[in-house]
Chain A
């Protein structure tokens, strides 16, 4: 699903991730490249923010504690934010899980496996959300 580089909308990126160190690193890496970042520390909070605001794209961890995981965030967006359908990047620490694999294969959503290099992250973000 490698579409031509997306157009930057100027809105912040919604980061849904429960691990504070990972949030800190992602925020630092993205802000350094000129992106604005709003973060939610659970799937439920992410959905709440998505309902209330506008975002250039969503970066979400797949496996999170709580009722809503990455796959469900993805499904909610497909249904309620059609403009964000192609603007989702998933992060996974657990691609070995067969459920995760099945989900990724079926949705065609780009996914970065933890741990990853900054360059890997930036190139996939620029391609999916556009360059500021």
Chain B
């Protein structure tokens, strides 16, 4: 037992083992003793003191390998557990004895090897060996425990020293008991140098403002303290633990100074970034109450301060649509992150703020959303811009869809890629437009013109008001005004052509009518001037002829000649009178006129001639015809003129004449159609031109229908004529306005304005 204690106290294992081996060898009358010790895979042999090695060459290796072998055999129970076999040395008469040294938990620790001259072991010797092995085991175990303790202690100091935080322990007398290496090297001294020094010597590390002898102690009554202390360059988090001991000597105060300068800086930078960033940053509860926000967020929402915005009662004002909030939470719960989430918030002043947010959910241990963190962009302006854009787009769309023009987009090859609604309303099918060539709809003879215009446009030039004949959806040809404009891409290359097509067939007709009435007006002015100039010489001719005829000296053939002059002068006078009455802008009497009655009276005027020459007149009058607004005398002149023409035409045709007169109301017009089965008109387009006549020379002035034209126009009506499609003859149509209230009012206004 003494040995075990001795061993435990001994710091030197080899020394102990050598002594042990020697004692064992002496006790068992062995010439050599040693102990093999196993440390993991390593095996070390300690020979008895005074004798270095076994007495034969390679003895140590032999012994160790034998020892291991025996050990294995013992474990496999091939040999008695307590004592190993006595083994013969090779080439030596002695015997080796191996005894296992096992720990209390049967862990093998080593083997005691003895080398004896005697071969057998007595029972006493065996018991002694056994006791020695137990003793050695105890010693080795103790030794190992102690060395572990030693190591762990050393390790602990090393660990403490390895901590970069400054650690200092002091006693109640404010004297340093220990510091770690970090602290000592901060002061530039070995740790031992500080032991026993006063804590006040550490005041240079950080200023805490404490007036106690220890710069780091603030309240000695507390077992734990934590606060931040700063020096000129560094900031420390000082954590203090106090262990009250039984005696004053045991009382320890441990200060750990953690350098948090960098963390502080990082925090400061973070806060700076948080506050200076232009985007809104926020931490909020899932219910939407803000926990922290940056300045941008405060500004965005129009609050005076962060505190005001963080108040609990703000949230109901903030969210104009709480139901959207629930949807938002569901989505966030599912996905954890929401990118480009659009939310409309209400500013303090009540105006709406359109935001775009990127949001992350922070979950608790149960996976529930504990916090919502996000970044918020003010997109109100973009939103306004967007809606403005939308409005503009709608507006353009409306124009495109409601315009009476057909608008198409062609690619540069002339294929249609877009057609507005009007195209389809006009009867074209999408399948016959999109992807087809527009030129195919253009009349054959105009296709070259269209292609040329398309090429011009593709080269970047606008083509305006190209007038072409284009096939309508029903197959008929229409007169179209076409404008082509180039459309360019970002590279300023023409990539398509916008075609605006307007059916101006009606407009072309109107244009023709306008041109005609303008022509008539010009002729009127011309005629008026000519008539006036002709009247002066005519007055002299007529006057002198009268004077000559009054002269009794003029006789015989001279008198007859004068009669002819008189007659021809009269005829000239009539022509000039007709010319003047065509040109005369005599105001139309505005009165209610029963057109049927005017027609009946007119027919009566020629009734005798018609009847005697076998010309049948058929009246097809609409009896409930509304009154027209006009001058019945002038209208009678118009109808008489047309009837006379019809009469002449049927007479000339030489067959049984038939004149049909129809009246009816057509919209706001009274329509009178007079058709005959006569010879027809050579040129219906020119019939209203002054001096255009088909009659024999001397039979008419050629002004009758021109005068009719002037009268009808003065009535605000129109007169047309054409040759009948079926059968012979021609038809005249006179349209004059119905005396509606508005027409009467307009007439009255015109009257008043005159």
* Complex contact B546–A93 (CB within 8 A): no
CA distance in complex: A24, B536 (Å): 12
Determine which of A32, A95, A114 lies in contact with B536 in the assembled complex, contact meaning CB atoms within 8 Å: A114
Tell me which residues across on chain B come within 8 A of A101, comparing CB atoms: 586
- Interface-facing stretch out of A3-11, A65-73, A79-87, A116-124: A116-124
Q: How many B residues, CB 8 Å from partner?
A: 26
A24 CA to B587 CA in the complex, in Å?
36
| Interface mask (B572-609 → A, CB under 8 Å = 1, otherwise 0) | 01000000110111110000000000000000000000
Cβ of B546 and Cβ of A22 under 8 Å apart? Answer: no
User: Does B404 make an interface contact (CB < 8 A)?
Assistant: no
Asked if residues A114 and B539 are in contact (CB atoms below 8 Å), the reply is yes
1/0 per residue, CB under 8 A from A, across B527-560: the answer is 0100111011111111110110010000000000
Known: A96-B580, A117-B546. A21 touches B528 (CB 8 A): no
Verify A24–B540 contact, CB threshold 8 A. yes
For A37-74 the 0/1 string (1 means CB < 8 A from B) is 00000000000000000000000000100000000000
Nearest-neighbor residue (CB-CB) of A63 within chain B: B532
Q: Report the bound CA distance from A93 to B533 in whole Å.
A: 8
Chain B residues with CB under 8 Å of A97's CB are: 528
B532 touches A115 (CB 8 A): no
B569 CB–A CB distance under 8 Å: yes
Shortest distance between the CB of A131 and any CB in chain B (Å) = 17
If A22-B536, A63-B532, A96-B531 touch, does A115 touch B541 (CB 8 Å cutoff)?
Answer: yes
What residues of chain B lie closer than 8 Å to A25, measured between beta carbons? Answer: 539-540, 543-544, 547
Across the interface, do A115 and B569 meet the contact criterion of CB distance under 8 Å? yes
Nearest residue (CB) in B for A92 is B535
Q: Which residues of chain B are within 8 angstroms of A94 by Cβ–Cβ distance?
A: 528, 531-532, 535
Q: How far is the CA of A98 from the CA of B583 in the complex (A)?
A: 11
Looking at A28, A29, A96, A118, the one whose CB has the most chain B CB atoms below 10 A away is A96
Q: For residue A63, which residues in chain B have a CB less than 8 angstroms away from its CB?
A: 532
A114 proximity list for chain B (CB < 8 A): 535-536, 538-539
Q: Within the assembled complex, what's the spacing in Å between the Cα atoms of A65 and B245?
A: 145
| A115 and B528 contact, CB distance less than 8 A | no
Contact yes or no, B540 A22, CB < 8 A:
yes
- Verify if A26 is at the interface (C-beta below 8 Å from B): yes
Instruction: Kindly list chain B residues whose C-beta atoms are within 8 Å of the C-beta of A22.
Output: 536, 539-540, 543
Chain A 95-132 near chain B by CB (<8 Å), digits 1 or 0: 11110010000000000001111110100000000000
Which of B535, B547, B585 is the one whose CB lies under 8 Å from A115? B535
User: In the complex, A22→B538 CA distance in Å?
Assistant: 9
Bound Cα distance A29, B535 (Å): 18
Residues of B contacting A32 with CB < 8 Å? 547, 550
Q: Which of A24, A28, A98, A116 contacts B542 (CB 8 A)?
A: A116
Which residues of A sit under 8 angstroms from B542, Cβ to Cβ?
115-117
Most chain A CB within 10 A, of B531, B546, B573, B586, is at B546
Q: With a CB–CB cut-off of 8 A, which chain B residues contact A28?
A: 543-544, 547
Please name all residues of chain B whose beta carbon is closer than 8 Å to the beta carbon of A118 when the two chains form the complex.
543, 546-547, 550
> For residue B587, which residue of chain A has the nearest CB?
A98
| Structural contact, B536 and A19, CB atoms closer than 8 A | yes
B539 touching A115, Cβ below 8 Å = yes
Question: Roughly how many angstroms separate A26 CA and B528 CA in the complex, as a whole number?
Answer: 24
- Whether A115 touches B538, Cβ cut-off 8 Å, given contacts A96-B583, A96-B584, is yes
Q: Closest residue of chain A to B541, judged by CB?
A: A115
A21 touches which of B536, B569, B585 (Cβ 8 Å): B536
Q: Mark B643-670, 1 if CB is under 8 A from A, else 0.
A: 0000000000000000000000000000
The answer to whether B531 and A115 have CB atoms under 8 Å apart is: no
User: What distance in Å separates the Cβ of B343 from its nearest Cβ neighbour in chain A?
Assistant: 77
The complex places the Cα of A25 from the Cα of B536 at a distance, in Å, of 11
CB distance from B581 to the nearest CB of A (A): 7
CA separation between A83 and B536, bound complex, in Å? Answer: 30
Alpha-carbon distance A84/B532, docked complex (angstroms): 28
A95 to B535, CA, bound (A): 11
Min CB distance, B541 to chain A, in Å? 7
A63 CB, min distance to chain B CBs, angstroms: 7
Q: By the criterion CB–CB under 8 Å, are A119 and B546 in contact?
A: yes
**Cβ-closest chain A residue relative to B524:** A96
B532 partner residues in chain A, CB cutoff 8 A = 63, 93-94
CA A116 – CA B543 in complex, angstroms?
Answer: 7
Cβ distance A14 to chain B, nearest Cβ, rounded Å? 19
B residues near A93, Cβ cutoff 8 Å: 531-533, 535-536, 539
Residue among B531, B539, B585, B586 making CB contact with A116, cutoff 8 Å: B539
A122 to B552, CA, bound (A): 19
Pick the most buried of A32, A93, A119: most chain B CB atoms within 10 A of its CB: A93
Interchain nearest-CB distance for B510 vs A (Å): 28
User: Residue on A with the closest CB to B542?
Assistant: A115
CA distance A95 to B536 in the complex (A): 13
Interface residues of B in 280-319 (CB under 8 A from A): none
In the assembled complex, the Cα of A98 lies from the Cα of B587 at a distance in Å of 9
Task: Note all chain B residues with C-beta closer than 8 A to A119.
Answer: 546
Contact residues in A for B539 (Cβ distance below 8 Å): 19, 21-22, 25, 93, 114-116
Q: Which residues of A contact B535 (CB under 8 A)?
A: 93-94, 114-115
Nearest B residue to A113 via CB reads B535
Contacts of B581 in A (CB 8 A): 96
- A128 CA / B541 CA spacing, docked (Å): 25
Complex Cα distance, B550 from A28, in Å, reads 12
Q: Which of A32, A96, A115 has the most CB of B within 10 A?
A: A115
Rounded to whole Å, the gap between the CB of B569 and the closest CB of chain A is: 7
Query: Which listed residue (A29, A96, A116) contacts B547, Cβ 8 A?
Result: A29
Q: Which residues of B contact A26 (CB under 8 A)?
A: 543
Most chain A CB inside 10 Å of its own CB: which residue of B540, B547, B585, B587: B540
Tell me, rounded to whole Å, the shortest Cβ–Cβ distance linking A15 to chain B: 13
CA distance A96 to B530 in the complex (A): 12
Q: Which residue of B lies closest to A91 (CB)?
A: B539
> With A93-B535, A116-B542 in contact, do A98 and B528 touch (Cβ < 8 Å)?
no
A94 to B585, CA, bound (A): 12
CA of A119 to CA of B587, assembled, Å: 31
Contact (Cβ within 8 A) A115 B583:
no
Pairwise interchain contact A115-B573, C-beta atoms closer than 8 A: yes
Q: In the assembled complex, how far is the CB of residue B584 from the closest CB belonging to chain A, in whole angstroms?
A: 4
CB distance from B530 to the nearest CB of A (A): 11
What per-residue 1/0 map shows which CB atoms of B328-345 lie under 8 Å from chain A? 000000000000000000
Cα A26 to Cα B460 in complex, Å, equals: 75
Is A21 in contact with B547, judged by CB distance below 8 angstroms? no
Complex: A46 Cα to B624 Cα, angstroms: 61
Least distance between B583 CB and chain A CB atoms (Å): 6
Which chain B positions have C-beta within 8 A of A121? 543
Complex Cα spacing A48 to B619, Å: 65
A28-B547, A115-B535, A119-B546 known; 17 other A-B pairs, CB under 8 Å?
Answer: A19-B536, A21-B540, A22-B536, A24-B540, A29-B543, A29-B547, A32-B547, A93-B533, A93-B535, A96-B528, A96-B583, A96-B584, A115-B538, A115-B541, A115-B543, A117-B543, A118-B547
11 cross-chain CB contacts under 8 A: A19-B540, A22-B540, A25-B539, A26-B543, A29-B547, A93-B535, A96-B531, A98-B585, A114-B539, A115-B542, A115-B569
**Chain A positions near chain B (C-beta within 8 angstroms):** 19, 21-22, 24-26, 28-29, 32, 63, 93-98, 101, 114-119, 121
Residues of B within 8 A of A (CB): 528, 531-533, 535-544, 546-547, 550, 569, 573, 580-581, 583-587
